[in-house]
Chains A and B, each alone.
Chain A
Amino acid sequence: MENTYYNPADLKKFGNISELQPEMGRKFFDYYGEVFKEGALTEREKALIALAVSHAVQCPYCIDAYTSDCLEKGADENQMMEAVHVAAAIKGGAALVHGVQMMNKIKDLTM
């Protein structure tokens, strides 16, 4: 049994998910590779988006992988922290915008 839920060494084993379902695994990784290729967005821009999303979904594997990837794609620390703030703003905003729902409900329930 593992002592922790997350083991950094498991990141390298991501590809192993194909062992139990090779066809879906192959399709996923082909798609994944395609998504991160340079297109209308540069590879660096995609890495920064991935870094922001990694924080939003709070995936330690993704944060590990996309911090390295952003550096390797030539992003700098300021760009990376701004990307994290974008994630934080959306996460915070997503919580706060529900405040409107709360206010609507307050209106419904109070005189």
Chain B
Amino acid sequence: MPIPVKSLKAQQHQFANPAFQLEVLQHAGTEEGDFPLFGAKLQQHQLYPLQPTGTTILQVNVGKMCNQTCRHCHVDAGPDRKEIMTRDTMQLCLDALAKSPQLTTVDLTGGAPEMNPDFRWFVEQLSAMGRQVIVRCNLTIILANPKYHDLPEFFKAHRVQVVSSLPYFSASRTDAQRGDGVFEKSIKALQMLKQVGYGQEGSGLELNLVYNPSGAFLPASQKSLEAEFKRRLKSGYDIVFNNLFCITNLPISRYLDYLVESGNYSSYMGKLVTAFNPVAAANVMCRNTISVGWDGGLYDCDFNQMLELKVQPGTPQHIRDFDLTQLDQRQIVLNQHCYGCTAGAGSSCGGSTT
């Protein structure tokens, strides 16, 4: 199946509409009936209402612009997306962090976060505040334009933890998900990161890779796949990294479109529901993370953000009103896509949760 070059939004595709996605999600099922509601499933395991256990991570989506249009992207990011966080909104994030010392980690995502014109300024401010900065770097951005070639040095200077998608250690599976030539460029970018010390023992520069399945199936065990990735990337390309995070694809946006178009939607949802794991459910990332959108809106996670499901009404809805004590009392907003985080070994932005 070819990768479209335009976002769903630019195509005016029905799956660009969050309300339509929710409608499809709520009516998923088999001949035997609809799948149980996620909230009801949690109730069976005494996990409802789902509440934070103490928020320590602020995940900031600095914009939907990206140099890639990956087949599975839950953000529907791409070169045609213009939604970008302004420096004023970034300043509001810094103000929120200044009054919330519990938020020790700031996780920057996008799109390609590096394409935001104020990205470096923001990282410098966060680093000066002593927060651990994570950047979700798609790797190819480092090679996309000479102005990005020094990103490895910049990341090193601010002790940024780099988290990068590499769906497989072969070109065919990687390119099928992320676009032609992405594997080769990703390997070059990983070698550039290695040159400054990333992933090397004793450097303190952490490089974590993300595996997510290139198709309608669940991820392998993180431990076994990490060993295989390490062996294959070392022998094939002399690349080293710290951890492999295995992430399950959530049925929203472009991945939902792929599932429906390929006829895999019901069976994939069935797999997620069947693989529901209460231990993974207890450890979901929305219990320790708050997500900020490009316009400053507050969400329980980046997936809810893309479905425009803001944090519970009555709690602060925008970063300008940030109040962690109040937000830590909230009930997390749930829907059927949440089954993606609770299947099997569990899934989060940091990989498996069990």
Number of residues from A at the complex interface, CB < 8 A:
12
Are B173 and A73 touching (Cβ within 8 A)?
no
Interface of A is mostly: helix
Are B220 and A76 touching (Cβ within 8 A)?
no
Closest B residue to A12 by beta carbon equals B270
A33 contacts B by Cβ under 8 Å: no
Contact mask for chain A residues 41-81; partner B; CB cutoff 8 A; 1 contact, 0 none: 01110000000000000000000000010011110111000
When chains A and B are docked, how far (Å) is the Cα of A7 from the Cα of B293? 46
Contact mask for chain B residues 287-313; partner A; CB cutoff 8 A; 1 contact, 0 none: 000000000000000000000000000
User: Of A43, A73, A76, which contacts B170 at CB under 8 A?
Assistant: A76
User: Of A43, A44, A72, A77, which contacts B219 at CB under 8 A?
Assistant: A72
Q: Which residues of A contact B218 (CB under 8 A)?
A: 72
Are B220 and A74 touching (Cβ within 8 A)?
yes
Q: Which residues of B contact A78 (CB under 8 A)?
A: 170
Interface locus among B101-109, B221-229, B253-261: B221-229
Are A77 and B224 touching (Cβ within 8 A)?
no
Question: Given A71-B213, A71-B215 in contact, is the A77-B220 Cβ separation under 8 Å?
Answer: no
Interface size class of B (residues with CB under 8 A): 10 to 19
Are B217 and A71 touching (Cβ within 8 A)?
yes
Q: Which residues of A contact B172 (CB under 8 A)?
A: 76-77
**How far in angstroms is the closest Cβ of chain B from A50?**
15
Question: Given A44-B220, A68-B217 in contact, is the A74-B173 Cβ separation under 8 Å?
Answer: no
Q: Which residues of A contact B228 (CB under 8 A)?
A: 44, 74
When chains A and B are docked, how far (Å) is the Cα of A42 from the Cα of B226? 13
User: Of B168, B211, B224, which contacts A73 at CB under 8 A?
Assistant: B224
Closest A residue to B169 by beta carbon equals A76
**How far in angstroms is the closest Cβ of chain B from A75?**
9
Closest B residue to A77 by beta carbon equals B172
Q: Which residues of B contact A76 (CB under 8 A)?
A: 168, 170, 172-173
Question: Given A76-B168, A77-B172 in contact, is the A44-B217 Cβ separation under 8 Å?
Answer: no
**How far in angstroms is the closest Cβ of chain B from A10?**
13
13 more CB-based (< 8 A) A-B contacts, given A71-B217, A74-B224, A77-B172: A42-B224, A43-B221, A43-B224, A44-B220, A44-B228, A72-B217, A72-B219, A72-B220, A74-B220, A74-B225, A76-B172, A77-B173, A78-B170
Instruction: List 15 A–B pairs whose Cβ atoms lie within 8 Å, in order of A's numbering.
Output: A38-B224, A42-B224, A44-B220, A44-B224, A68-B217, A71-B215, A71-B217, A72-B217, A72-B218, A72-B219, A74-B211, A74-B224, A76-B168, A77-B172, A77-B173
Q: Which residue numbers of B lie inside 8 Å of A, CB to CB?
A: 168, 170, 172-173, 211, 213, 215, 217-221, 224-225, 228
